[in-house]
Amino acid sequence: MRKTLLVANWKMNLNVSQASLLLHRLQERTRIHRSIEVVLAPTMLALQPLSLQIDRRKFRLAAQNAYYKDEGAFTGEVSFSMLRDLVHYSLVGHSERRAHFHEDLPMVRDKVQAAVRNGIVPILCVGETHQERKEGFTKRVLHDQLTTALANLTAREVAEIVIAYEPVWAIGVGDPAKPAQIQEAISYVRYQVAHLYGEKVAREVRILYGASVEPEFVAGILSLDGVDGLLVGGASLNPYKFADIIEAAHRLQVSIGDES
């Protein structure tokens, strides 16, 4: 059985002491579930202190971003190699990085490769803007983002990464994409992986949905075929809500008899 993967993206919120307090509150409110993996992506600055505080039976850490070179004259950047022993995962190519920091397709590809090279599992974010969906380009955008980002990986490496489908138009608005839209996009992502790397890799790669996930949407989205987990932004900053999201995922597993 594939574990359900829940990822909290705290974005550029919470200083170190606030992040530590949120972790404390989450640890109080969550139980250990062997069939659910929960990953927290705080600001870079909080990774080190949180790594000392975290209950590793409950949570793992992720970076929100890093640079693709391992070291050198790149003032202000942090490399994946510097994060090696600190995080299991890193978001790569989040739409906010693509939009505000001009991360283009080759840069996202190089970051995915750098993460893998350093033993960090990339959570590759893909998704179309409102305009792109309106013009009927959703599949083309997903196709281009995936084919470029995965280009330098072996099939074995692709099987181990995580892909998050995040429709840009649904991020931070409180209203997720419709189940049929999520289903269609995620099936397409898996189909593309199968096309490029074979059926076995497509069965193994984990694919998440992200954008406006709230506790009440969890069961509906996670019951969709091929959805392996959720990437949560706003709601993950609230310990009650994020704990509810974890519990809702657990209840779903129990109800379908999938809990180990």
Cα separation, 129 vs 167, whole angstroms? 7
Half-sphere exposure of 79 (CA within 13 A, CB side): 16
Report in angstroms how near the CB of residue 252 gets to ligand PGA at its nearest: 19
Asked whether position 103 contacts ligand PGA by CB under 6 A, the answer is no
- Residue with the two structure tokens 């199968």: 194
Question: Of residues 234, 248, 250, 253, which one binds ligand PGA by CB under 6 A?
Answer: 234
Query: Hey, is 24 helix, strand or coil?
Result: helix
Instruction: Respond yes or no: is residue 103 known to be catalytic.
Output: no
Rounded to an integer, what is the distance from CA 233 to the centroid of its chain? 10
Q: Which is nearer to ligand PGA, 172 or 198 (CB)?
A: 172
Q: Which is nearer to ligand PGA, 219 or 254 (CB)?
A: 219
Q: Which is nearer to ligand PGA, 23 or 230 (CB)?
A: 230
Query: Hey, is 84 helix, strand or coil?
Result: coil
Q: Which stretch binds ligand PGA (CB under 6 A): 70-78, 148-156, 197-205, 231-239?
A: 231-239
Cα separation, 48 vs 66, whole angstroms? 15
Please give the single-letter amino acid code of residue 43: T
Asked whether position 231 contacts ligand PGA by CB under 6 A, the answer is yes
Cα separation, 123 vs 135, whole angstroms? 27
Asked whether position 210 contacts ligand PGA by CB under 6 A, the answer is yes
Report in angstroms how near the CB of residue 70 gets to ligand PGA at its nearest: 26
- Catalytically annotated residue among 94, 128, 143, 157: 94
Tokens at residue 2, please?
């594939």
Instruction: Respond yes or no: is residue 100 known to be catalytic.
Output: no
Asked whether position 171 contacts ligand PGA by CB under 6 A, the answer is yes
Partner residues linked to 165 by β-bridges: 126, 209
Asked whether position 185 contacts ligand PGA by CB under 6 A, the answer is no
Residues in the chain: 260
Asked whether position 229 contacts ligand PGA by CB under 6 A, the answer is no
Report in angstroms how near the CB of residue 16 gets to ligand PGA at its nearest: 21
> Are 62 and 88 within 8 A, CB to CB?
yes
Please give the single-letter amino acid code of residue 186: I
Question: Of residues 211, 221, 227, 248, which one binds ligand PGA by CB under 6 A?
Answer: 211
- Residue with the two structure tokens 């890093």: 66
Active site residues: 94, 166
Site of interaction with ligand PGA (CB under 6 A): 9, 166, 171-172, 210-213, 231-235
